[in-house]
Amino acid sequence: MEIEINNYKFFKIAKAINIGCKRFFVLLLMFFANAGYAQQKWESKFIKLKKDGRLQYVPDEQGNVIPDFSKVGYHQNAKQIPNVKVVVTIAATGVDDQQKIQNAIDELSKKPTDANGIRGAILLKKGEYKIPGSINISTSGIVLRGEGDDTKLIATGRGKRTTIKVSGNGNLKEMPNTRVKISAKYVPVGAKSLQLTNASGFKVGDKIIVFRPGNAKWIHDLKMDQIAEKEGLVQWKAESYDLDFERVITAINGNTIFLDNPIVMAMEEQYGGGEVYKYNFDGRIAEVGVENMLLESEFESDIDEEHGWDAISFGKVENSWISGVTSRYFGYSCVNLSNASKQITVKDCKSLAPKSQIIGGRRYSFNNDGQLNLFMNCFASEGRHDYVTGAKVRGPNVFYNCTSVNAKADIGPHHRWATGTLYDNIVTDGEINIQDRGDWGTGHGWAGVNQVLWNCTAAKAAVQNPYVSGKNYAIGLKAQKYEGRLKGRPDGVWEGQNQSGLNPSSLYLKQVEENKNR
């Protein structure tokens, strides 16, 4: 097969790179979208461009708008990721490499931080470092840096484990006697202010939780107490669906407080309303970076599962980053962010050739269970759920300009109600789905709400709206639409299907631009 369009030639590409016709078609769509072969520009009816070029958010009948996703990632885009000075250099010898790296981390942990919370960078020179266990970072201000793919950390031997584990300690704790009710009967998606019964106990700069309680009526109206029964299935229970959104107060006017980030799930009086309280998280660490290296796992076969599982995991960490990292042959992920990870940027990373069975609980190339996190410019091959969120994930979160090839399953919210995720310019030869997953797992049910697909490309997509409490959007999605796993669910909000020229081409970048110009 040979195709020539506007002087671009494709010589027997499908055969040469060993992909099927469906994937080849998707890659062609990707090429033309990126090469500027868009037709006439068009705007979403939900977010328009005003005459001055700024965004205009169009509310629905309840006041809900597509949220502002701009303040996610490292310091909410208010700071650039720093180029931290090297204070320790290590060379690979093949003897006790893991211990040498750990000793350097432990010694650096004893040194004071500078005014920006930084201790320094540990540089791993080019070479192969054998890592039979895990490298642990549990202190703020430490950067582990390689010299690109020539710095290779090899997870040697048997057993599932994480190669680089970054984690603080403790847990988020409510400050006593600070809890106040939200007085409004309905707070719409996208709102950046809350009316309280009494705001006198708060001040600008306070870290707060916006708390939305689990509610039996809400679960019943979602029909998540009616999932088709099977052995091991767990119907949703109200006490398991409390959601705690971390926010900062930016202004106060009477009993109205203003927030740094928007509400991404409506607060509804009929479902228990909401509350606000102050919190602390003393053990959470910050200003940690993992940069510019290749992590590789030994394995015994393509379906071997007793080897390196996560290349990098972050837990109880905020305002930190992972950049320029490639993983190869791990069973679960390149990057795995836990639910206590906040304001993490993951950029320019690759997940390649995972080794495991191709079944549930494997190959989540870039997994996010935290909030206010950003994944950008990443690549995954042979994964199952390449850009994915887990249960009860509190947004906003963003996946921007990421690619998936040879996908074994779908991209999107995976199970049990993720809230407020933007998938912006995601390209895959597999599926993107936002749907009721029913009895999959132990009862996945509704995967997510207020999920936004913006200018994405996939082979196939199902986008459904939950019965209550929000919508899901497919705007400018280039894909074959299908009904989804379970029939009869409400259709999601589709606009401009298979239509090029969406303006702005990236909602995330446009929102970031406007936020910086305010």
Cβ atoms of 466 and 516 within 8 Å: the answer is: no
Whether the predicted pLDDT of 211 surpasses 60: yes
Residue 295: its pLDDT value, please?
A: 98
Quick: pLDDT tens for 489-511: 999 999 999 999 999 999 999 99
Confidence at 94, pLDDT banded by 50, 70, 90: confident
Quick: pLDDT tens for 250-283: 999 999 999 999 999 999 999 999 999 999 999 9
Distance CA 85, CA 107 (A): 16
Residue 418: its pLDDT value, please?
A: 98
Q: What is the largest CA-CA distance in the chain?
A: 71
Percentage of the chain exceeding pLDDT 70: 92
Distance CA 416, CA 166 (A): 26
Confidence at 1, pLDDT banded by 50, 70, 90: very low
**Amino acid (1-letter code) at residue 301:** S
How is 290-316 classified by DSSP, letter by letter? EEEEEEEE--SSTT--SSEEEEEEEES
Cβ-proximal residues to 395 (8 Å cutoff; 6+ apart), any chain: 67, 264, 371, 372, 418, 419, 420, 421, 450
Q: Read off the tokens for 296.
A: 């590789």
Whether the predicted pLDDT of 432 surpasses 60: yes
Question: Euclidean distance between the first and final Cα of the chain, in Å?
Answer: 51
Percentage of the chain exceeding pLDDT 90: 91
Whether the predicted pLDDT of 133 surpasses 80: yes
Whether the predicted pLDDT of 375 surpasses 80: yes
Least confident of 35-44, 50-59, 463-472, 497-506: 35-44
Whether the predicted pLDDT of 14 surpasses 60: no
Distance CA 263, CA 309 (A): 34
Buried/exposed 428-443: b ≥16 CB within 10 Å, e otherwise = bbbbbbbbbbbbbbeb
Tell me the average pLDDT across 9-36. 48
Cβ atoms of 346 and 374 within 8 Å: the answer is: yes
Angular region, 84: left φ>0, alpha ψ -120 to 50, beta rest: beta
Whether the predicted pLDDT of 24 surpasses 70: no
Residue 27: its pLDDT value, please?
A: 56
Helix residue ranges per DSSP H, 185-234: 216-222
Residue 28: its pLDDT value, please?
A: 57
Residue 11: its pLDDT value, please?
A: 34
> What distance lies between CA 352 and its chain's CA centroid?
19
Question: What is the phi/psi pair of residue 377, to 5°?
Answer: 60, 45
Residue 36: its pLDDT value, please?
A: 45
CB atoms within 10 A of CB 110: 8
Q: How far is CA 249 from CA 199, 201, 213, 252, 279, in A?
A: 11, 12, 20, 8, 12
Residue 416: its pLDDT value, please?
A: 93
Q: Read off the tokens for 195.
A: 């009316």
Look over the chain and give the mean of its residue pLDDT values, rounded to a whole number.
93
Residue 30: its pLDDT value, please?
A: 53
Buried/exposed 383-420: b ≥16 CB within 10 Å, e otherwise = bbbbbbbbbbbbbbbbbbbbbbbbbbbbbbbbbbbbbb
Q: Read off the tokens for 94.
A: 């093949």
Confidence at 41, pLDDT banded by 50, 70, 90: very high
Distance CA 241, CA 203 (A): 29
CB atoms within 10 A of CB 377: 14
Distance CA 411, CA 420 (A): 15
Residue 518: its pLDDT value, please?
A: 73
Confidence at 15, pLDDT banded by 50, 70, 90: very low
Cβ atoms of 76 and 260 within 8 Å: the answer is: yes
Q: Strand ranges (DSSP E) for 363-487?
A: 366-368, 374-376, 379-381, 387-389, 397-400, 403-405, 410-413, 418-424, 427-428, 431-434, 448-454, 457-463, 473-475, 478-481
Q: How far is CA 393 from CA 245, 413, 438, in A?
A: 9, 9, 18
Quick: pLDDT tens for 433-468: 999 999 999 999 999 999 999 999 999 999 999 999
Residue 9: its pLDDT value, please?
A: 36
Cβ-proximal residues to 359 (8 Å cutoff; 6+ apart), any chain: none
